[in-house]
A and B are shown apart, each in its own frame.
Chain A
Amino acid sequence: MKAVLNQKHLLGIRGLSAEEITHILDTAETFREVSEREIKKVPTLRGRTVINLFFEPSTRTRTSFEIAGKRLSADVININSSSSSVTKGETLLDTARNLEAMSPDLIVIRHPSAGAPHQLARVCRAGVVNAGDGAHEHPTQALLDALTIRQQKGSLRGLRVAILGDILHSRVARSNAHLLTTLGASVSLAGPGTLAPPEFASLAVGGGLRVESRIEDAIEGADVVMVLRIQRERQDSAFLPSLREYAVHYGLTLKRLRLAKPDAIVMHPGPMNRGIEISSDVADGARSLILDQVANGLAVRMAVLYLLGGGAGALNVSTNPATQAKVETESSPEASTESLSAAVAAAHADSSKS
């Protein structure tokens, strides 16, 4: 493996090559094992600082990035908009400059406005990871979805993926549309006419992107059915008459799922509205990979933090990062004295690979 991630930041999937995406996925695969150890920690990012800068409520993604950073031994600081100076009227860029003065290595940002990570990246020396910006992109979600699909299906090439729900406002749909078509899957999007504009088909990187008005048409013959969360406020702004009607006409039920291939898998980025966009028997059924997605999310975020924050050497990965960590520990004596867990983890990594 000698792929290069030619990025200082991860701002979106659009613009990443198939090779770069595959490289991140391959790296994530090697990190899955770390979370299965007794001591779930490697010293890879020891001495590095990761700031989780969240301007939107998030449990899953923030926790996932936090644990990912900690398992790589980075110092992780969480800043939530409610507890920051944003409420005092400070601008995003002032917040960024203040954080920058504390020399973080990576800033993970979640923001309700599209493009906020790009603006941050223009003024920061630190690497910026987009953890979701408005309706624009959510690259680590698409990567963890791809990792989950790849584990089940071996490859994405030629697969048929249905993405259902509020396409218009979904950063998950955008990132997935870019990623899946880049890796050769064909994607069918479907949802209510107000939330699934036909023009979305023009965003395909390859040619395999279609917008269906009936969700049954998207599900039919699908290898993967991905369900998006519906926001309750859509029924107050003339996008939907009611969630009840949405559940009846656009919810994923066992009956609708039968239209997909017999071995089709079901995914949801969470948090789920059970009984609205997805019925509980589907969500909890054997084909549901929703909890695998969460586990893979951690591995993907470890890979991203590692590739962007692991120093110059990490940008050009030629060995398994989890075992490479041991080498780093041995070559710096103060590290081994300071961090017992790192040494244990490294030793464990060594033994588990042999």
Chain B
Amino acid sequence: MRLLIANGYVIDPSQGINAGKDLLIEDGRVAAVLGRGESRPEGAEVFDATGLVVAPGFIDLHTHLREPGQEYKETIASGAAAAVAGGFTSVCAMPNTDPVNDNPAVTSFIVEQSQTVGLANIFPVGAITKGSKGEGLAEMGEMKRAGIVAVTDDGRPVPSPGLMRRAMEYARGFDLAVMDHCDDRTLAAGGVMHEGEWSLRLGLRGRPALAEESDAMRDCALAELTGARVHLAHVSTRGAIEAVRRAKERGAQVTCEVTPHHFTLTDAACEGFDTNTKMNPPLRSREHVEAILEAVADGTVDAVATDHAPHHADEKALEFDHAPFGITGLETAVALALERLVHRGHIGLERLVELFSTNPARIFRLADRGTLRPGAWGDVTVLDPDLSWTFDASRSKSRSRNTPFDGWTLQGAAVATIVAGRVVYRRERSAVGGRQSA
């Protein structure tokens, strides 16, 4: 089976390609990147990408799929459908399911379920500690054999520096990245939003930036001590960014991701007590948002990830104090990044592809992903950077609707998603202002 993605503009930072090219995929793998003048192969199905950007498949390092255990929020099938509708060919599934993905049986279940669904590649991430309880280490080696690509106790960060040290040392032996949600619980003190002017005004308990920063500094120091690969999830504060920047300068193997909501919204969005503005880390104040944008531009930030965290409407209808943290993000991430990062001049398209594909593949060592080198998987994200469209949460492929971006008109979108040479998603042409060719 052959697919020729013709007439597009190929951007692949892994090979330094940034030019009008055709891409040939054969039997699920990249066969060749052809120059405009080169003769096209016979008998290939043609995808006309005139006016569109063709990039290696986008990878979300941070997705909550909720299966097993909370299928009313999301399933692997609905999450995968949302992923490909948002332009992601691969997502990394966080382990805070029920039961927690802390053993090879759960890992295997997720892998098998993903293969049945077949839409996107799902890479499970295992727990650091058993039950993510922050006590004993989980069976990382066995989970890796079953398919995990990293470990994290996301949502329930490891509180003990001593245990985190052991986790890093142990994970290093299996070449697994240790991903951490930096959040010192004693400093966060039960806060429900960013601590600052707005939390004071609204009378809501605040989580200070320092709760994230002190753990980020700890993890960076531990990365140096242990030599482990450490990935900081959803970095949202100036201090945490600064900690990563310094660790990188010192040669530590530290990487980090930021989310679209943290570079798009500030804590002022909490004013109306809309629980779709409640997430952890919380929306921060303007100075932190500016620090993130600077770090995206200067290379300190390695990846954009969604932290897609579906919750049922009934749960989000609770009081701000009691509603769960988190918002969905798979279907809005690429558009928000195009609009807020590219169109506002912080970065170019090449850097965007690096943040969504090249670097995520490198961070979790996803072999033959994040590149269009011949032999790599035929995972492709096709972008229309200028497409103007309106996000309608009621039509989301996710089972949940908890997003603060419902009704937003955005500029730029993924218009087709191709996994192993198969077109698994294609945006309807009826979209307003669409320029997609037939």
Contacts and interface: CB of A to CB of B under 8 A. Distances in A.
* A and B assemble together: yes
A134 interface: yes
Contacts of A135: 203-205
Given A199-B196, A202-B197, A203-B197, A114 B202 contact: yes
Interface in B313-328: 314, 317-322
B200 A199 contact: yes
Interface in A65-104: 91-93
A116 interface: yes
A118 B272 contact: yes
Nearest to B204: A114
A119 B197 CA distance: 21
Contacts of A114: 202-204, 273, 320-321
B201 interface: yes
B111 to A, nearest CB: 37
B427 to A, nearest CB: 33
A136 interface: yes
B201 A119 contact: no
Contacts of B202: 114-115, 136
Given A91-B317, A91-B318, A93-B317, A115 B204 contact: yes
B203 A134 contact: yes
B386 to A, nearest CB: 35
A111 B322 CA distance: 13
Given A115-B273, A199-B197, A203-B197, A137 B318 contact: no
A113 B197 contact: no
B189 to A, nearest CB: 9
Interface residues of A, number: 25
Contacts of B314: 91
Interface of A: 14, 91-93, 111-116, 118-119, 133-137, 168, 171, 174, 197, 199-200, 202-203
Given A115-B202, A199-B200, A92 B272 contact: no
B321 A134 contact: yes
Interface residues of B, number: 17
Nearest to B190: A237
A330 B319 CA distance: 45
Contacts of B273: 114-115, 118-119
Contacts of B197: 199, 202-203
A174 B203 CA distance: 8
Given A91-B314, A118-B273, A119-B273, A113 B320 contact: yes
B201 A14 contact: yes
19 contacts: A91-B318, A92-B318, A92-B319, A93-B317, A113-B320, A113-B322, A114-B202, A114-B203, A114-B204, A114-B273, A115-B202, A115-B204, A118-B273, A119-B273, A135-B205, A168-B200, A171-B203, A174-B203, A202-B197
Contacts of B200: 168, 197, 199-200, 202-203
B272 A136 contact: no
A203 B203 contact: no
Contacts of B320: 113-115, 119
What are the 8 tightest A-B residue pairs by CB atom distance, in nearest-first order?
A115-B273, A136-B203, A135-B203, A113-B319, A113-B321, A114-B203, A115-B320, A118-B273
Contacts of A116: 319
Interface string B134-162: 00000000000000000000000000000
Main secondary structure of the interface of A (DSSP, over half): mixed
Interface in B273-322: 273, 314, 317-322
A119 B273 CA distance: 7
Interface in B163-206: 196-197, 200-205
A65 B178 CA distance: 56
A9 B213 CA distance: 40
A134 B314 CA distance: 21
Contacts of B196: 199
A93 B317 CA distance: 7
Contacts of A202: 197, 200
A92 B273 CA distance: 14
Nearest to A174: B203
Contacts of A168: 200
Nearest to B319: A113
Contacts of B272: 118
Given A92-B318, A115-B202, A171-B203, 10 more contacts: A91-B317, A114-B321, A115-B320, A118-B273, A134-B203, A134-B321, A199-B200, A202-B197, A202-B200, A203-B200
Given A91-B314, A199-B196, A203-B197, A119 B203 contact: no
A14 B197 CA distance: 14
B108 to A, nearest CB: 36
Interface in B205-235: 205
A49 B202 CA distance: 29
Instruction: Determine which residue in B200, B319, B321 has the highest number of CB atoms from chain A within 10 A of its CB, and name it.
Output: B319
B52 to A, nearest CB: 41
A111 B320 CA distance: 12
B206 to A, nearest CB: 9
Contacts of A93: 317
Contacts of A197: 200
Contacts of A200: 200
A98 to B, nearest CB: 14
B239 to A, nearest CB: 17
Contacts of B321: 112-114, 134
A91 B275 CA distance: 14
Nearest to A178: B201
A9 B319 CA distance: 18
Nearest to B322: A113
A111 B314 CA distance: 19
B220 to A, nearest CB: 28
B352 to A, nearest CB: 36
A134 B273 CA distance: 12
Nearest to B318: A91
Contact of B319 (A111, A171, A199): A111
A203 B273 CA distance: 18
Nearest to A94: B317
Nearest to B273: A115
A199 B317 CA distance: 30
Contacts of B317: 91, 93, 119
Nearest to A168: B200
A93 B323 CA distance: 13
A48 B319 CA distance: 28
A136 to B, nearest CB: 3
A133 B203 contact: yes
A175 to B, nearest CB: 10
B2 to A, nearest CB: 54
B311 to A, nearest CB: 14
Nearest to A93: B317
Nearest to B272: A118
A114 B206 CA distance: 12
A115 B201 contact: no
Instruction: Determine which residue in A91, A113, A200 has the highest number of CB atoms from chain B within 10 A of its CB, and name it.
Output: A113
A269 to B, nearest CB: 15
Contacts of A119: 273, 317, 319-320
Contacts of A112: 321
Contacts of A91: 314, 317-318
